[in-house]
Amino acid sequence: MAIRSILHYPDPRLRQKAAPVTEITPEIKQLVEDMAETMYAAPGVGLAATQIGEPHRVFLVDIAGEDEPSKLHVFINPEIVKTEGEQCAPEGCLSFPGISEEIKRASKVTVKAIGIDGKPFQLEAEGLLAVAVQHENDHLEGVLMIDKMGMLKKRIVQRKMQKRGGVDEDRA
């Protein structure tokens, strides 16, 4: 396992759409292991492969608190098939370090995906898990949380991030 560098906005690779995974190869399994180690070290509750420069439709989510056992969810070729309701909550992103903004999302989602074992599954999520699934799924489409902000907030965040640079220098 290895901790990978996390891309930071405005890195153009964050805008690339991810390609479907056609087979769960040893390389994909290694990618998932590296992503988990990177996500936990950051620390974060989710990470998409595109955030570390890998163009695969893979993301991880673990919303367990510090005092709770880890519950890592691996989503390969995810597809959100149903959304319900609406919630607005503070949201952060490993590609936008130090930034937290109110983002509007569905309050409940149903997602279909393939697990690391190669088996398809379906998950209904609400609350923080629903937010994390939508956020990471957006990354696979090249959509970032800044895209969901109002014009003024977007300009402020853009200025902050452009001053900072596009790669996590601590992990590069």
Cα distance between residue 153 and residue 146, in whole Å = 8
Name the catalytic one among 54, 91, 101, 136: 136
Residue 136 annotated among the catalytic residues of the structure:
yes
Q: Which two tokens stand for residue 155?
A: 């300009």
Q: Minimal CA–CA distance to 134: which of 81, 56, 95, 71? A: 81
User: Rounded to 5, what percent of the chain is helix, strand, coil?
Assistant: 30, 30, 40
- Please state the φ and ψ torsions of residue 78, each to the nearest 5 degrees: -70, 150
Residues belonging to the active site: 136
